[in-house]
Amino acid sequence: MTAAGSTAEPAIAIADLRVVRLGRTVIPGLSLSIPRGQLVGLLGPSGCGKSTLLRSVVGVQEIAGGTVQVLGLPAGCEPLRHRVGYLIQAPSIYQDLTIAENLRYFAKVLGTPRRQLDGEVARVLEQVDLTDLAVASAAALSGGETARVSLAAALLGTPEVLVLDEPTVGLDPVLRRDLWAIFRRLAGQGVTLLVSSHVMDEAVRCDRLLLMRAGAMLADDTLQGVLASTGAPDAEQAFLTLVDRAAGTPAARPGGSDHRGRHEKPEPHQGVST
């Protein structure tokens, strides 16, 4: 792990990011810096631009302006693709392979040596609690199980930055707790994690919160900091307070309150075909 190396440089540095999708400005101009080794929660309602921001960080989003640097390099460049793990929101696994076959293939793509493939696959399967289903066909899995296989694939290798788009959505509370424990442990090892969620409860698990709405950051602080500045008892109330405050100031974007749903997911995902 080289993450402990030049810690002075932020893990993720975004300046004036602007993203336009299908003629609609999704992110009007966003700047952000995330130091290494932090577990950062990106929270906001569906459709606020979380996925678009995460896609920009891994370098698969076409951007209209600004810069996105990860570990001091331009997002998505070749060397970074060995060092950044990404979980896409859609269940991005092959439905016509078994779970183990899926993970072996992704491990090979990451350059895992042949002798270590089995161990590597077993390790991530255990982390998402799917060891018993290793030989099951991906098509036979429930939505939550599919999401876990997808997450397991993102945990392969030794990424220095993990970008996870809603990794815990729809999961059993016990598994959610276990996954957050894994994220916490990875952060302890120097991995930077940027984890999105639309569930405000997950705020308590993070070192730091990014509260996002309509393509802009409402807050960028620790949970304690956000609660103190808003006087709210929890993240959800704090979010509402911040929305009300933003609406009351001239700085609020005109028409910025009606961005909901439908454009959040960049690619439509396809059902199981037999």
Partner 1 sequence: MSPTLTVATAGRVLQQIRHDRRTLALLLIVPCVLLGLLAWIYQNTPVFDSIGAPLLALFPFLTMFLVTSIATLRERQSGTLERLLTMPMAKADLVAGYALAFGLLAAVQALIASGFALLVLGLDVAGAAWLLILVAVVDCLLGTALGLFLSAFARTEFQAVQFLPAFVLPQFLLCGLLIPRDQLPDVLRWISNVLPLSYAVDAMRTITTDPNGTASVLGDVAIVLGYVIALVALGAATLRRRTS
- The contact set with partner 1 (CB under 8 A) reads 20-22, 58-63, 76, 78, 81-82, 84, 86, 88-97, 101, 105-106, 108-111, 137, 153, 266-270, 273
CA 266 to chain CA centroid, nearest Å: 14
How near is the Cβ of 155 to partner 1 at its closest, in Å?
13
2 CB neighbour count, 10 Å cutoff: 10
Question: 133 near 141, Cβ under 8 Å?
Answer: yes
How near is the Cβ of 61 to partner 1 at its closest, in Å?
6
How near is the Cβ of 238 to partner 1 at its closest, in Å?
32
H/E stretch holding 126 reads: helix 117-127
Hey, CA dihedral for 148, 191, 33, 41, is it positive or negative?
A: positive
What are phi and psi for residue 210, nearest 5 degrees?
Answer: -115, 115
- Of 68 and 235, nearer to partner 1 (C-beta) is 68
- Of 44 and 91, nearer to partner 1 (C-beta) is 91
Closest CA to 197 of 159, 227, 171, 161: 171
- Of 193 and 211, nearer to partner 1 (C-beta) is 193
- Of 185 and 269, nearer to partner 1 (C-beta) is 269
Helix 117-127 vs helix 99-109: angle between axes, to the nearest 10 degrees?
A: 120
How near is the Cβ of 48 to partner 1 at its closest, in Å?
18
How near is the Cβ of 235 to partner 1 at its closest, in Å?
28
- Of 195 and 227, nearer to partner 1 (C-beta) is 195
Closest CA to 27 of 45, 8, 52, 10: 52
- Of 93 and 227, nearer to partner 1 (C-beta) is 93
Angle of CA points 160, 147, 221, to nearest 5°: 50
How near is the Cβ of 88 to partner 1 at its closest, in Å?
5
- Of 62 and 132, nearer to partner 1 (C-beta) is 62
What is the C-alpha separation between 152 and 129, in angstroms, rounded?
Answer: 9
H/E stretch holding 100 reads: helix 99-109
104 CB neighbour count, 10 Å cutoff: 19
How near is the Cβ of 94 to partner 1 at its closest, in Å?
6
